[in-house]
Amino acid sequence: MALSSVIHEDTGEWRIHENLDELRTDLADYVAELSESYVKERGVFCIALSGGSLIDLLRKICEAPYNKTVDWARWHIFWADERVVSKNHPDSNYKLAKDGILSKVSVIPSHVHSLNDAVSAEAAANEYEFTIRQLVRTRVIDVSEISDCPKFDLVLLGMGPQGHVASLFRGHNALNEKDEWVTFLTDSPNPPPERITFTLPVINSASNVAVVVTGENKAGAVKSVMNSAGTGCSLLPAQMVRPASRKLVWFLDSAAASELDISPCS
């Protein structure tokens, strides 16, 4: 049960949890419910993951009751961003998700859409976009009614202390990319330098977007996002996450929410 939940017209639903255990349960419930509803509606569930602490916070989904109730064979798994390193490198977001979650449940290996780690960042981004285009063509991935973008059922993001999401960093050109679905960086401000990432139009075309943020070092960025402080080029990447569906949920722990002015109402 979230300690406090607030719906904000512009910035989405904010769920603030007393501790990480409550956040983990709420996040697993949220993902399992979306999975059930999209499997019922479309026969598949297309979920895009990020790296970072998100994966550890999502691990409850591999435990009872979710491990038995989630229809894993219907999942198609993507990465909203990936580091261009080999798949067994400790920096790989694929490895993080595989070790933490995917190896513990019965997903179908051909439904796990990971980066080609044998080519350059540019080629890997192009190839990843091509894979997504094929799956949009066959309607495994839904398509947005208002843009030609893919409409993932759920994009799960983390947020860095400077407000970056996926591998979209403040002031970096990748943040302004409007034409590509997947772009690449060779100069990421955070290591490793080479990455691929969904662009903002793709993130904002998703049916559901959730951002999972914990820890006091993120409290300042969280406050800026909720207050919508900043305009134009001074916006944090996280402030630019505004899905057209308006289904945006923030999962916070009390430390990340410590600068917000929200009264608890459990």
Ligand X SMILES: O=C(O)[C@H](O)[C@@H](O)[C@H](O)[C@H](O)COP(=O)(O)O
36 contacts: CB under 8 Å, gap ≥ 6? 69, 70, 71
- Tell me how far the alpha carbon of residue 116 is from its chain's centroid: 20
CB of 224 to ligand X, least distance (A): 16
- Tell me how far the alpha carbon of residue 143 is from its chain's centroid: 18
Q: Between residues 44 and 85, which has the closer beta carbon with respect to ligand X?
A: 85
DSSP-derived pairing of the beta strands 182-185 and 75-79: unpaired
CB of 217 to ligand X, least distance (A): 8
Query: Does 93 participate in binding ligand X (rule CB under 6 A)?
Result: yes
CB of 188 to ligand X, least distance (A): 8
SS3 6: strand
d(CA 116, CA 232) in angstroms, rounded, equals 34
Q: Between residues 44 and 236, which has the closer beta carbon with respect to ligand X?
A: 236
Signed CA dihedral, 109, 111, 166, 215: sign only: negative
Tokens for 251, please give them: 């999962």
User: Under rule CB under 6 A, which residues in 151-170 are in contact with ligand X?
Assistant: 158-160, 164-167
d(CA 1, CA 35) in angstroms, rounded, equals 20
Contacts with ligand X by CB under 6 A: the residue count is: 15
- Tell me how far the alpha carbon of residue 131 is from its chain's centroid: 18
Asked whether 102 and 109 are in contact (CB, 8 A), the reply is no
- Tell me how far the alpha carbon of residue 99 is from its chain's centroid: 18
Select the residue whose beta carbon is closest to ligand X and give its number: 52
What are the start-end ranges of the H helices in 64-176?
66-69, 93-100, 121-137
Q: Between residues 151 and 195, which has the closer beta carbon with respect to ligand X?
A: 195
Q: Between residues 226 and 241, which has the closer beta carbon with respect to ligand X?
A: 241
CB of 168 to ligand X, least distance (A): 8
Q: Between residues 147 and 190, which has the closer beta carbon with respect to ligand X?
A: 190
Q: Between residues 52 and 220, which has the closer beta carbon with respect to ligand X?
A: 52
In the shown chain, the binding pattern of residues 30 to 59 toward ligand X, with x for contact by CB under 6 A and - for none, equals --------------------xxxxx-----
CB of 146 to ligand X, least distance (A): 26
In the shown chain, the binding pattern of residues 65 to 84 toward ligand X, with x for contact by CB under 6 A and - for none, equals ----------------x-x-
Q: Between residues 44 and 156, which has the closer beta carbon with respect to ligand X?
A: 156
Q: Which residues bind ligand X (CB under 6 A)?
A: 50-54, 81, 83, 93, 158-160, 164-167
